[in-house]
Amino acid sequence: TGTMKINEKNHLEIGGVDSLDLVEKYGTPIYVYDTLYIKEKARAFKAAFENRGVAAQVAYASKAFSCLAIYQLMAKENMSLDVVSGGELYTAIKADYPSEKIHFHGNNKSDAEIITGLDYRVGCFVVDNFHELNQLNKFTSIRKQMMNVLIRVTPGVEAHTHDYISTGQNDSKFGFDLTNGQAEMAIELTRKMPFINVMGLHSHIGSQIFETEGFNLAIDKVLNKAKEWKKQFDFKLKVLNVGGGFGIRYTTEDEPLPIETYINTIIDEVEQVSKELGLEMPEIWIEPGRSLVGDAGITLYQTGSQKEIPDVRNYLAVDGGMSDNIRPALYNAKYTGVFANRVSDQTEKMYSIAGKCCESGDMLIWDLPLPEAQTQDILAVFSTGAYGYAMANNYNRIPRPPVVFVENGVDFLAIERENYADLMRLERSLI
Ligand code: LLP
């Protein structure tokens, strides 16, 4: 995908840079992002709305991968930004992100986080629950500061990768329940909150979604409620945020839809249902994370020890693992990979790729066909750009790898490799 190819040396090239050169320069493991591909995807999301003449905001869900440089990149692309914590907000502000483009999420914002959001005058709060609504009312009233909000609702649609369950009852920690009167109550409460401007509603149905049916169902439910509330409270839905969740390809088993297809279906549904219900067409906001950065990132590891269990399995270990990619261990997530130092060599053997953490579950890939492994091959694992670095940890005191951006033959070190001293930076000696 993106600008990845096999070069004349039979090496994996990404962003016009030989991955072996990156390994030589930065060591392993290393995360590499194809930033041109990220920009192309950001532009594709926005163009999909522009082509239909639909007012929209595309917010990068930065939980997928957050750091100074990616915020700067997204700001330059005129993207809106979804942050879910004081830490993400702080980093975005350090990146000079235009604050009016920032959407502040989170199901348990602290008072300090709320105040920081107000101080920076973020574009909107996505209000998750009654506690937050009350605190926000309190602080905006004390400060006499208007704040835009979206009310997050759980529409009772849960999108699992391939099947959609339309449940009567919503068992989720997020948002106001749309089915038991709590969402109504929230809307009603905001009518008496003088500094809260409700712009609209937010719903997010899940992640790594390959079909459009779940979005359509959620849109129907939310718009029908908006219609009820229009009568009941004179509620005006200016913005409908349908969340993120657009799927990407990790392995050949995944069949994501083109970005345009997701967006066109969403637009069609909102247009059609709004018309049927006699509602004005709202702005449509989305917040993709994975689909912007996921398949733009790869991880390069060096291979090391092997363990062969005759007739059972060949383990091949790499110099990283669940500390830099916890998704296989946590979600049973599937990945694929190649030897970046000899990409098109004939595959000869089935390997299972083990990490180096002290845990049996630390396996990155089960059953990956590869050429006969030599010591010190470079294994490239694909589509590690989302929720990889973002969820990286220091289990076993393994320092987090660096992040390198590549584009047009140029590499840029976005995040340095951690060292052992970094790991001890916050520690105090007992004696
Ligand atoms: N908006 C909201 C409200 C969300 O909760 C999420 C993801 C997104 C947008 C972005 O979803 P995306 O476009 O990236 O699918 N750690 C998990 C994924 C957790 C997703 C949490 N919320 C993983 O590694 O698969």
Gap from CA of 291 to ligand 1 centroid (Å)? 10
Please report the atom of ligand 1 found closest to the CA of residue 330. Answer: 24
pLDDT at position 166, please? 60
What residue has token string 């604050």?
99
Beta strands, E only, 251-348: 283-286, 297-309, 313-318, 337-339
Q: Ligand 1 pocket check: which of 129, 207, 241 to mutate, most ligand atoms within 8 Å of Cβ?
A: 207
253 is known to lie in a ligand binding site: no
pLDDT at position 156, please? 85
420 is known to lie in a ligand binding site: no
pLDDT at position 249, please? 97
Q: Checking DSSP bridges between strand 12-14 and strand 5-6, what pairing results, if any? A: antiparallel
Helix (H, G, I), strand (E, B) or coil at 290: helix
Cis peptide bond upstream of 310, omega within 30: no
pLDDT at position 343, please? 98
Q: Ligand 1 pocket check: which of 41, 45, 63, 384 to mutate, most ligand atoms within 8 Å of Cβ?
A: 63
Amino acid 145 reads Q
Q: Is the beta carbon of 291 within 6 A of some atom in ligand 1?
A: yes
* CB-based contact 100:147 (threshold 8 Å): no
425 is known to lie in a ligand binding site: no
* Sign of the dihedral defined by the CA atoms of residues 7, 74, 67, 337, in that order: negative
- What is the C-alpha to C-alpha distance for residues 286 and 280, in angstroms, rounded to an integer? 18
Nearest to 323 by CA among 349, 296, 294, 354: 354
Question: Does the active-site annotation cover 358?
Answer: yes
- What is the C-alpha to C-alpha distance for residues 373 and 356, in angstroms, rounded to an integer? 17
Residue nearest atom 8 of ligand 1, based on CA coordinates: 244
Please report the atom of ligand 1 found closest to the CA of residue 64. Answer: 14
DSSP notation for 75-141: HHTT-EEEE-SHHHHHHHHHTT--GGGEEE--SS--HHHHHHHHHTT-SEEEE-SHHHHHHHHHHHH
- Other Cβ atoms less than 10 A from the Cβ of 193: the count is 18
Please report the atom of ligand 1 found closest to the CA of residue 152. Answer: 3
Q: Is the beta carbon of 327 within 6 A of some atom in ligand 1?
A: yes
Gap from CA of 311 to ligand 1 centroid (Å)? 39
Q: Which residues in the chain show pLDDT less than 70?
A: 160-169
Residues 6+ apart with CB under 8 A from 426: none
Please report the atom of ligand 1 found closest to the CA of residue 291. Answer: 13
Beta strands, E only, 262-344: 283-286, 297-309, 313-318, 337-339
Residue 302 dihedral angles phi and psi, to the nearest 5°: -100, 140
Tens of pLDDT, residues 131-185: 999 999 999 999 999 999 999 999 888 776 555 666 545 788 999 999 999 999 9
* ipTM confidence: 0.99
- What is the C-alpha to C-alpha distance for residues 190 and 133, in angstroms, rounded to an integer? 8
Q: Is the beta carbon of 243 within 6 A of some atom in ligand 1?
A: yes
Domains defined for the chain, CATH in brackets:
5-34+294-423 (2.40.37.10), 35-290 (3.20.20.10)
Q: Ligand 1 pocket check: which of 174, 241, 290 to mutate, most ligand atoms within 8 Å of Cβ?
A: 290
pLDDT at position 403, please? 99
331 is known to lie in a ligand binding site: yes
- Other Cβ atoms less than 10 A from the Cβ of 230: the count is 16
**Is the whole-model pTM more than 0.95?**
yes
Q: Is the beta carbon of 45 within 6 A of some atom in ligand 1?
A: no
